[in-house]
Each structure stands twice: as C-alpha cells, then as structure tokens.
Amino acid sequence: MALATFGAGCFWGVEETFRKLPGVLNTAVGYMGGTKENPTYEEVCTDKTGHAEVVQVEFDPEQITYADLLDVFWNNHNPTTLNRQGPDVGTQYRSVIFYHDETQKKLAEASKQELDRSGRFKNPIVTQVEPATTFWRAEEYHQRYLQKRGMDSCHL
C-alpha cells in the first residue's frame, strides 16, 4: 500500500472524487503544511495556521498508479487560481501536492510541467509541490462528509 496527499480546495469534494476510484483503499481528510500542531477546522479556517485542507489517499499501486492519481487531481480542480477554488478563498484552499518520496516528487513536478506546457490553461499553474509533513486528521464529522449525506459533490 502507498499514500498520496493532495490539496485541491474544500476537502469534502476532493475526498469523494478519490474515494470512488478502483484501487483506492481508504481516504481521510485533514490538514497539512502548517505550523500549528493538531489544528482544528476552526483554526485552519482563520487562514493563520498555514495548513491546507488535504485528502490523504491510501492506494494499491498494483491497481492504480500515482500517475493515475495525479491525473485525477489535475482534472478535478483549477490549478491556476492562487489560494482559491470556486467560492472558497484562503491559503487553506491552495492547490498543493504533498509528496511522500522522491519518486512522487519527480512524477508530480513532471506532470505539472507537462500540463503547464500543454496550453490547456490560459493562466500558469500555481500548484505547489512540497514534501509531506505531519497529517492532522480532521474532525470526524468531516470524514466522508458528502457520502454520509448521500451527495456526490458540493457544487452549488
């Protein structure tokens, strides 16, 4: 089994997107990349802790590759908006890939460069590629939030 961690805006919809993929064994939403230990949702929402809302994906690399997960990441958010996804604004909603090893780092950076060169987006990609730090699991009511409510997405 392997781990991948992505920030692509509000973690509810991002989790639901990854959770449904064949080869994904488990997902959890939480916070990564900040300075405060064990932050709460309310603290992260102040935009003062430096954390991003993230989804940690446990996957079987024999069923789904990290490159496949990167494709899902790129295709399910706007990587050209700095600290924002849709109506959600703040550094906690930034586009970020937290890599867990050098292979993930190389694949993430290569896919970002390739997508940026492709001309698919009018604006440059602002997604950060950073080493994974401590994953702080979000409060239980955030876990599988949309699934618990019978929803596929949180789009307005």
Q: 5 — phi, psi (to 5°)?
A: -135, 125
Enumerate the active-site residues: 10
Half-sphere exposure of 17 (CA within 13 A, CB side): 25
3-state DSSP assignment of residue 45: coil
Please report, for residues 43, 68, 92, 118, the alpha-carbon distance to residue 7 in angstroms, rounded to integers and kept in the order given.
17, 16, 8, 22
Which candidate, 87, 21, 106, 97, places its Cα nearest to that of 54?
97
The whole-angstrom separation of Cα 42 and Cα 64 is: 34
